[in-house]
Chains A and B, each alone.
Chain A
Amino acid sequence: MTFVAPGFLLAAGAAACVVIALHFIVTRRPRSVPFPTARFVPDAPVAARERSLRLSDLLLLALRVLAIMLVGIALARPVLTPTREKVVRVIVADVSGAVADIAEVRDSARALLRPGDELIAFDTSAWAVPSVDSLANRAGLRNAGSISAGMVGALRAGQRVRAGADSVELVVVSPLVTPERDRATATIRNQWPGRARLVRVRAAPPDSSSVRAVEAAFLDSARPEFAVQRNRIDTVGAVVANGNVLVGAFERRWRFTDDSLKGARVLARWVDGDAAAIQRDSGSTCRKSVLIPLDSTGDMLLRPSFVKLRASLSGPCQRARSTPDAALASVMSGGSGKLASTADFPAATDSASPVSRWLIALAIIVALIEMVLRRGPFDAGDRQ
């Protein structure tokens, strides 16, 4: 047998101890009995110097303690066949593009998952998954996920497991890279009323799609992203990128619109100052657009200046670096240091123990018996 709210049991025990102590400690002023010849009794201080323990006293004490304990047990809501676990884990698994190998996440989750535990997958949103095998990157997402979304899912899972466990352990399986953190992460993390166990997996390498896009842009005559066709095709003699100058006869067919340049980072410029390559950040990733056409038949591709230019344009986006974030790990590993108690999670509905009402009724009956005994034959006008 276990108790849903054992605090009431402890409180009842304390109250019973107080009653027992008072029973033996308190000296009450005894009730006066009319006695016509009272004048012949020596005038001494009226006080009960000692208490004679009689059967009726012990019976009354036992009934009082029994009534208190019954109420305490009733409020503690006893459960004869407990279905609750002591500790349930909520495993938050990262399935976003920040993870190098989703199988590593599955293995970690499989090692930690026990019957009754909650498994939450997250990328930019969170959802419960029935089994470890269901953990998969949705639609080949390359972007990093959001720890905040995962924590929201964990909080909901904690509310679900509230009735079935005493404590909840939060386990986060994620590479914990910088793009997964946002301004709400710390606040949402603090909503979890306990410690978090961090299981780090390998982070995905930098997104190579931008490199491939740059490589393709040099050789492709198709319209680059964010660019429109120039009204008049012209030529320009050089392009400058990150201090590297590539001299050549470049035919300019495309230009960036003013809207596309807003918020964009210019990676290369023509010698006349127009933007030749830009980078636009989108969420946790970035997209590059290069307007520099190259002639594959010449020797330009072999020049050292071109090699440097290509390296500077093809490098990973500055904000998309998928490196483990120490600050994020610090935020996630914070908390009280204890396991989260299920009592700290708001309950949707309070469940009442069916035994409680019977115990309350029994306590009332015991209290009535105690009252009858106190005023009944044991008293008989002579009990002081």
Chain B
Amino acid sequence: MHSALLDAIRGLRWRARRASRIAVPGIHPSRVRGSSAEFTEYRAYRQGDDLRRIDWKLFARSDRAHVRISEERAVTPTYIVVDASASMAFPDGATSKWSLVQQLTVALTAVAHSSGDPAGVIVAGNPRATVQPRTRHGLVAEVSRMLQHVKVSGGVPIAPTVAIAARAASRVAIISDFLGDLDETLQTARQLIASGRDVYALHIIAAEEMDPPATISVVTDPETDAVHRSLSVDTRKEYTRAFGAWRDDVASRWLASGAAYREIVTGNEPVSSVVRRIVRDEPVASRAG
């Protein structure tokens, strides 16, 4: 299904932005200091330290008891929270935001999986569309199949789903257009970041939203019938200005929260490049990807 994309991202590793608190051995730096063979430093013995960790040769030379500290590596369980509200179905066809979300989710799952991290996907507001974080073989295909059967509709808040995902993951990637409960999601994200988790905010925007087609004259919010506006020549400029200001605001708020924020526009860049930027945590050069 996504073989070309998976080939393009083969070998990528999703490096953790913070040291993991997980004790399960992995490739990411861990906050846990253990007794592995990778020596880091000595520390003066404190009451309660394991006597087996005292470096007796150093004690014989210096007549002081020191404990041998080594660098530990751990896994970073990753949960990808996917927004499947009706707004993600725009525009119709293969260039829709949902199509990009599917590719992005599969690619990030594959990268996390190849990094040895348990990876899972959860669709906001759809408990049945969930793949728990696992490291087993066939995980990527399972995620791909699950996303194929997701029905994109409604207007479900994603903040509760983010909170649920954080219980089982130290890295949470939120893929959404953030047109729903942005404030609640940001608040939840701040709490997760404060508790030491990595949060990725991947803001999906359709190119048609940046520059609406000239043939569109009356628009309706697909998630609520209350918004019914006329997109004329006069209002188009105002729309572009307001939408740009909103995107600036969203970006600044996410970045201020400490999350890794990326604005991804459909059709702007190959998905593999976008994924590469995300997992390498490259600095945001511009808003577009």
Contacts and interface: CB of A to CB of B under 8 A. Distances in A.
A, B bound = yes
A39 B221 contact: yes
Interface in A165-208: none
Interface residues of B, number: 34
Given A42-B239, A44-B235, A37 B179 contact: yes
Contacts of B206: 36
Contact of B218 (A36, A37, A46): A46
B36 interface: no
B230 interface: yes
Contacts of B232: 44, 49
B230 A47 contact: yes
Which of A38, A42, A45, A382 gathers most chain B CB within 10 Å? A38
A384 interface: yes
A35 B217 contact: no
Nearest to A32: B220
A298 B92 CA distance: 134
A80 interface: no
Q: Please classify how large the interface on chain A is, using the bins under 10, 10 to 19, 20 to 34, 35 or more.
A: 20 to 34
Interface in A23-54: 29-49
B219 A33 contact: yes
A383 interface: yes
Given A36-B179, A42-B235, A42-B239, A31 B218 contact: yes
Nearest to A37: B209
Contacts of A40: 239, 242-243, 246
Interface in A198-254: none
A38 B223 CA distance: 10
B117 interface: no
B230 A35 contact: no
B209 A36 contact: yes
Contacts of A346: none
A32 B217 CA distance: 8
A381 interface: yes
Nearest to B245: A40
A38 B230 contact: no
A363 B179 CA distance: 50
A258 B227 CA distance: 110
Given A43-B229, A44-B230, A384-B218, A35 B212 contact: yes
Given A32-B228, A41-B238, 17 more contacts: A32-B218, A32-B219, A33-B216, A34-B219, A34-B220, A34-B222, A35-B219, A36-B177, A36-B222, A38-B227, A38-B228, A41-B242, A42-B239, A42-B242, A43-B229, A44-B229, A49-B232
Interface of A: 29-49, 381-384
Q: Shortest 10 CB-CB distances between A and B: which pairs?
A: A36-B87, A35-B219, A382-B215, A41-B229, A34-B222, A40-B242, A32-B220, A38-B219, A46-B230, A40-B243
